[in-house]
């Protein structure tokens, strides 16, 4: 090979190398994406754990949640509790639900999805020092975070549902409209012995399915599910949208909206004669506990406030 040919070959290799470095990413960008690839592992692992065996739990806990959630619906009858002859708390008329069970789950899923997606998109667009079109480049990571936090909340709601179903079917507290639905074969008016406890009776009114439903007053599943979702969203927004970065009004407004909707759903059970006030109150408490547990499992509460603020600015 002549000297001129060697010079041409060297020039060609140099041109090719420069072209590759220009078309592709710089070493700094390659290193950054390499770190991202390493980071995606825990996110995908979290999603898999959430969907298959539950968050930070073994297969036994997840299986137990499914067992106590769905088995009572098809294989177990609620506890058959008696009643006092003069009990006025179960003499209310039967009314249809203002918010049905399906609507509660639909509202919870819609509010949860909108909150998480809007928060993560808002953070990606408004991050300090974000570059143009950064949202498109980080779209895959946004999807991963949305699915991860969504799965954490769903697992909390599943535990919530398991606690609710287990308690309802084992306690068997009578709903306020029980007598209107049951129409027992005993004379209650006039009640000669108000404190007589009646256990030997047969319901002659509504179908058996509706009577069984009237034995499941404690505690309110509507209140527990709606408040569980609300508490998760409130703490999630507080952690992912720090006030010093996004203002003093936007976060409290949406947090109050979540709590308000949960309160309205729970209190509607009182006006519908579906629950006693204590049922709704305990449902709210259970919802707060499961909501806090699910959001704490997502490691949003594992850092101190100052560390969390720094992490929010970086992510």
Sign of the C-alpha dihedral computed for residues 302, 239, 259 and 98 taken in this order:
negative
- Contacts with 275 (C-beta within 8 Å, 6 or more apart), sequence order: 175, 176, 217, 219, 220, 223, 269, 283
Among left, alpha and beta (phi > 0; psi -120 to 50; other), residue 56 is left
Active site residue 275: yes
Q: CB of 93 within 8 A of CB of 273?
A: yes
Active site residue 222: yes
**Orientation angle between helical segments 101-126 and 221-240, nearest 10 degrees:** 0
Q: How many angstroms separate the CA atoms of 40 and 181, rounded?
A: 55
Q: How many angstroms separate the CA atoms of 179 and 175, rounded?
A: 9
Token readout for 160 is 């919530």
Instruction: For Cα atoms 87, 91, 94, give the angle at the middle one, nearest 5 degrees.
Output: 155
Where helices occur in the chain by DSSP H, the ranges are 3-23, 27-52, 59-75, 101-126, 134-137, 139-171, 178-182, 208-213, 221-240, 243-246, 250-271, 277-297, 305-314
Catalytic residue among 13, 96, 177, 222: 222
Q: CB of 311 within 8 A of CB of 242?
A: no
Q: CB of 310 within 8 A of CB of 160?
A: no
Question: How far is the CA of 183 from the CAs of 151, 175, 180, 208, in angstroms?
Answer: 44, 13, 6, 12
- Contacts with 199 (C-beta within 8 Å, 6 or more apart), sequence order: 82
Catalytic residue among 177, 258, 275, 276: 275
- Residues classed as catalytic: 222, 275
């Amino acid at each position: 090979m002549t000297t001129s040919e060697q010079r041409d070959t060297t020039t060609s290799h140099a041109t090719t190398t420069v072209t590759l470095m220009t078309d592709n990413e710089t070493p700094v960008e390659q290193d950054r994406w390499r770190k991202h690839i390493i980071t995606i592992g825990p996110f995908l692992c979290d999603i898999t754990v959430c969907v298959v065996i539950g968050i930070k739990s073994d297969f036994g806990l997840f299986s137990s949640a499914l067992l106590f959630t769905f088995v009572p619906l098809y294989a177990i009858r609620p506890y058959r509790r008696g009643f006092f002859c003069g009990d006025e708390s179960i003499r209310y008329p039967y009314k249809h639900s203002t918010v049905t069970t399906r609507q509660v789950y639909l509202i919870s899923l819609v509010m949860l999805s909108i909150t998480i997606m809007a928060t993560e998109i808002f953070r990606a667009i408004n991050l300090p020092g974000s570059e143009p079109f950064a949202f498109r480049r980080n779209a895959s990571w946004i999807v991963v975070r949305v699915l991860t936090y969504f799965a954490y909340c769903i697992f909390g709601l599943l535990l919530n549902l398991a606690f609710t179903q287990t308690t309802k079917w084992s306690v068997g507290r009578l709903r306020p409209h029980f007598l209107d639905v049951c129409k027992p074969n005993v004379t209650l008016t006039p009640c000669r012995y108000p404190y007589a406890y009646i256990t030997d009776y047969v319901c002659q009114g509504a179908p058996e399915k509706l009577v069984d439903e009237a034995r499941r007053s404690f505690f309110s599943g509507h209140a527990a599910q709606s408040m569980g979702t609300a508490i998760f969203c409130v703490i999630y927004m507080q952690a992912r949208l720090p006030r010093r970065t996004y203002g003093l009004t936007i976060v409290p407004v949406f947090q109050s909206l979540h709590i308000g909707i949960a309160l309205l759903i729970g209190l509607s059970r009182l006006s519908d004669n579906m629950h006693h006030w204590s049922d709704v109150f305990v449902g709210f408490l259970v919802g707060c506990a499961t909501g806090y547990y699910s959001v704490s499992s997502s490691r949003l509460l594992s850092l101190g406030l100052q560390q969390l603020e720094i992490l929010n600015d970086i992510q």
